[in-house]
Structure 1
């Protein structure tokens, strides 16, 4: 993920699995990929992750709206460990920390009609899990609420 300035013209959205602007809420999944060359972000929305879009270096962000003990959360995952010898854990961790806010803003822009329909989701917490075999990088980060990344308020 490159160039961390939000530009809506660089966000491309694909809807899969008969997803609508209303359904589903719980289990709605997002796969966010990007182009290093063009700084475009690709947000795929469906009932399953778009595993066919994962790159060999595994630098995608995946998100899901989940029910955690009767509380709705938006939970995501990134793979910090190096794949195909692309960067050290520290480098990948630093890139994800820097770029996730842009990816989140792009995701909420891509699915803005859904979030307008469910304005009550603006206060839902956003948790991103950084996955690594190294305990130093295997962490959970709280990114605030969905409303922090949109112009909408509950």
Structure 2
């Protein structure tokens, strides 16, 4: 995993979302530049589809509620056109390796929300690896947000 550098992160709020409200709906689109290593986090009522490229290497996330607790749901798209299982296998490995960096960037980028609602640091993170290939299509628990805070 690449080390997280807060100075490489840019955050943009959209659609009336502020650094402290609302929690739901709150959608996150994390993209990056392969050239500079910069990370770009867009937080809004909807995903920032205008930031998504044909590479499909973004990390999407949103807060959800189940009965009485909140959890964070992540979506990563493993397959890329043209569909090829070997390419998907490589992308799956890269997503797994870089996901801790992405979660740290999301936690850091929305730090004021976590300061206002400390309970969010105890939220479970559910990662959905989306793929047409069964070995890569899975849902996993990736712990809680307090594991991804910048020390």
Fold similarity call, TM over 0.5: yes
2:4 is paired with a residue of what secondary structure?
coil
Q: What is the alpha-carbon distance in structure 1 between the residues aligned to residue 143 and residue 149 of structure 2?
A: 12
Mapped pair 1:74 → 2:69: no
SS of equivalent residue, structure 2 residue 16: coil
Partner in structure 2 of residue 93 of structure 1: 92
Deviation at 1:21, TM superposition (A): 2.5
Which residue of 2 is the match for residue 17 of structure 1? 15
Question: Equivalent residue for 1:56?
Answer: 54
Greater mean alpha carbon deviation, residues 17-26 or residues 29-38: 17-26
Would you say the 8 A contact 1:56–1:84 is kept in 2?
A: no
- Report the more deviating stretch, 77-86 or 45-54: 77-86
Distance in 1, Cα, partners of 2:117 & 2:57? 29
Over the aligned positions, Cα root-mean-square deviation in angstroms equals: 1.7
Using structure 2 for the length normalisation, give the TM-score. 0.93
Tell me the equivalent position of 2:148: 149
Distance 1:85 1:132, change over 3 A: closer
For the residue of structure 2 that corresponds to 1:43, the secondary structure is strand
| Cα distance between partner residues in 1 of 2:147 and 2:57 | 23
Unaligned runs of at least 5 residues, structure 2: none
Match of 1:83 among 71, 81, 100: 81
Superposition deviation, residue 132 in structure 1 = 0.5
Q: Give 2:120's aligned residue.
A: 121
- Between Structure 1 and Structure 2, how many residues are aligned? 150
Residue number in structure 2 paired with 1:132: 131
* Structure 1 segments unaligned to the other structure (5+ residues): none
- Would you say the 8 A contact 1:13–1:43 is kept in 2? yes
2-side partners of 1:115 and 1:80: how far apart? Answer: 29
